[in-house]
Every structure is written in structure tokens, then in C-alpha cells.
Amino acid sequence: MSPIVYRIHTLLEKILANVPVGTNLGLLHLFLTILSGRLLPSRGAIFPALQDFGLEPAAVRRAEAAVRCGHFQLDHLVHNWHALVVAEGMLRPHVYEGVRPVACDLVGFFRPKLSGALGKHYHSQADKALPAVSVGLIGAVGSVGSQRFALPRAIVTQPTLDLSEKALKKRTIARAASLLQAGEAGIFDAGFEPSELLAGGVTRFVVRAATNFTARRNYLRAYKGIGAYPKYGEIVRPLARTYKEREIPATACDASARFKVGKRFVKALIFNDLVGSESIPGGRSLRCVVILDPKYKHPLVLVTTLSLTAYALWCLYFDRWPIEQIPLSAKQMLGASRTFVFGKASRVRVPVVSLLAGSVLSYVAASSPVVATGFWDVCARPTCGRLRRVLSGLHFQDLAAPQGQIRKKESVTAHLPKGILGHRRQKAVADVREPARKAA
């Protein structure tokens, strides 16, 4: 077994430390199957992928049963992975003016043909929400070697009673508020509103707003001497817009900044002391920073509660992108975008296990010696795609036998019925009650 495969095997054993005996072996086989890219040729089918990995039919059934009805908690797997990476000390957290970014995002695994209770997630290519299994992803951003890396702190699943994206967003915000430590700030995409973050308890954040973002001043307008006294602050429009062929000018900024990125100069317009467009003065003050980068066509509108420079805010939001690497590795690199599982537990567990596998793949690729794809790859980089190509040749027979707690559970099953006799089926009892006799 090569050193890099041995290291992956050791990491997975530590991730599965809290999983019961027997279930941990099945999950280990599932992790290795996903990491070796077996879901790509099987187009998301779990059984063919496990069999292609070299498992016996009994081991294939045990791996599927482990993820379908095994007694383990997904939060324990995420916690073990986070503690393991922190203990190794290879992750260097990013800090900008004393603030460390913690990125948050919603990830959807689309299941358009799956029947039953299922939520929805927005699909950019379809331009609408499609049936999907959605999870919330929270991770601290740093660097491992020369690669940026987001270490998952929590993977929030959808509640059983409410599968809407609004409920998942609310749970993700509440979880992020409880996980943020001193000196950290949550970095959110445009799917989150500043009012939702403040209501959820997140007091330090940077969130992207729409180009038609509108706010109000956090103080009342001057009384004009006639009519009712004002209840709201003056409206602030950071960018100009057009309404019914009439141009609405932008509000003059309170300050401006200019910084250099590479060979280009970036301009920033700053608006201070703001509240939501429907809020009265007296709430938590917000700041709006409009980034005008000549590299992009559209401006970047950021809303924050932090008193940082425009360059620091731009760097903080720029560090939100590593959280996108985790679903990219799980879906595109490992083939978990399509998974044919139908159980109520497995339809959620398989996406979470795939996200953890994508995180493990990115971390091992960034912290291990660079593996070239072939003789033509003279400028190889430590990417997860190159590592996945190497692991694609991994076979179950190439692995050492698991030791310690990861083993098959030797349960006594000789007295239990097997096959069709083991199915817990009962014939339907027909209603044979005699109808009531008519009165004479």
C-alpha cells in the first residue's frame, strides 16, 4: 500500500472512531469507494460502485446497510474530521485586520425523480428551484500548503418536519451563530439577507447584496415643518437604477477608497450608518461597500457590521470561495452529484459522507507530495483531481486488513430466518365483519 493510500486509510479510521463496530467497517468501505471515484463510471449507483471496488456481495450489502440503518451521528464524523485537521497543525487560518473568515453556504444534491418528502434548491442553469436534498455547510477558511482550504465545522441537515429552504437557512444561521468564536466573522453569499443574519444572532458578518440593494439611514430625516414627523431614515441607493425608463440616481457615498490588486486598481464606495430598508432608526448599524473592479462587468455590493477597510472586506469575501471547493470535489471530482439511494436516512447521509470525502480528498492533495497525472504533467499542482486519478486505480485487495475497532461484527445469526423467510411481511387482514341486519 502506497504512503498516500495508507495516510487516507489512517485518517478515515480516526474519522470513524465513534461509529459502532460493524457499521464503521461498512462506512470505511463506502468512503474508500467514493474517494477512488467509483461513482463516476457507475453514474451514482451505490451497489455497482461498491462491487467495482472489489468487495464481496456480503460486504456490499453491509456497506449499504451501514449508511441506510447504521446507528451513528453525522455531527460526530464532522467533529472528528475538524479535530483531526486542527491537531495536525497544517491548516493556517487567514486573518485580515484581526478577523478570521468562516464561510457559510447552502449545497443542494438534486433528485428530480425521487418521490416522497423532498426539499428544493435553486439551480442556476434551470433558473428555478428543483427537488433536491439540501444541506448547510459551515467551514473555517485557511491555507494548507499552497492551496486555500475550508475546514468544515458543521454540516446542517434539513429538519424532518419542514424541508423548505427557508427552514434550512434558518438552522444554518443559528448554527453559525453558535460556532463563531471571538475574532471570527461569518461570510455569506447573496442567498442570505442581512435582516435574517441579525435576527438569527449573527452579529459579525459580511454578506453579498443584490445590485438593487436599498437601505435607510440609522437616524431620522430632518422635519420639514409640515405634515407628520418622519419615522424612517433617508433612503440610500448605493447604485443607480432604471425604473419605467426613468433613471433613479445613486446616493452620494460617505467615503471612497482605492487599492491595488495585481496590476489593476480597484475602487470602493463606502456607505456608513445604515439599517434595513424597512427598519426604523435605532437598530444595529450596517455598512455597505460597493467594489468596482475593472476585471468584472458588474459591481460587488457587500453589507457588513464590521468596521474594517474596504480592502479587508474584499479579502474576507474573496475567502468565501474555498467553501465551494468541497461540493465541487464531492460532485464533479468524485461523481456524487447523482446518488441512487431512496431511504429516508441514506438520502441525507450519502450527500454528507460525499462532502466529507471531498474535504478529505482536497486536504490530502494539498498536504501531500504532488502526484503528477503522467509524464506530460511537468507543472503538477497539489489538486484533488490529480489525486483522484491516482486513487481510481485503487482496489480493495490493495488495502491492508482493518485493525482495532474497525472490523466485521461477529453476531450470532444462525437462529434467524434467512432470505424470503426473513422478511417481516404480514398478510393484510380483510374486514369480514357481518353487515348490520335491517330492522324488520
Q: Which three cell numbers stand for residue 96?
A: 485580515
pLDDT given for residue 423 in this prediction: 67
- How many other CB atoms are found less than 10 A from the CB of residue 102? 28
pLDDT given for residue 427 in this prediction: 63
State pLDDT tens for residues 115-146: 776 788 888 777 788 888 899 999 999 999 88
Alpha carbon of residue 141 to chain centroid: 13
CA distance 34 to 171: 28
pLDDT given for residue 437 in this prediction: 46
pLDDT given for residue 1 in this prediction: 56
CA distance 82 to 17: 13
pLDDT given for residue 424 in this prediction: 64
Return the H-helix or E-strand segment holding 62: helix 57-69
Q: Please, is 18 exposed, middle or buried when counting C-beta atoms within 10 Å of its C-beta (0-12, 13-18, 19+)? A: middle
Kindly report the CA angle at 384 between 379 and 387, in degrees rounded to 5? 75
CA distance 265 to 174: 38
pLDDT given for residue 326 in this prediction: 93
pLDDT given for residue 417 in this prediction: 77
pLDDT given for residue 411 in this prediction: 67
Cβ–Cβ < 8 Å for 206, 316: yes
Look at phi and psi of residue 175 and say left if phi exceeds 0, alpha if psi is from -120 to 50, else beta.
alpha
CA distance 161 to 172: 16
**Alpha carbons within 13 A on the beta-carbon side of 135:** 23
Cα dihedral 339→343→345→350 (10° resolution) = -10
CA distance 437 to 93: 82
3-class state of residue 139 by DSSP: strand
Cβ–Cβ < 8 Å for 141, 102: yes
State pLDDT tens for residues 339-351: 888 888 888 899 9
State pLDDT tens for residues 161-182: 778 888 899 999 999 999 999 9
Q: Which three cell numbers stand for residue 378?
A: 511537468
User: Which residues does the chain have with pLDDT short of 50?
Assistant: 431-434, 436-440
Q: Which three cell numbers stand for residue 174?
A: 443559528
pLDDT given for residue 391 in this prediction: 86
CA distance 233 to 295: 35
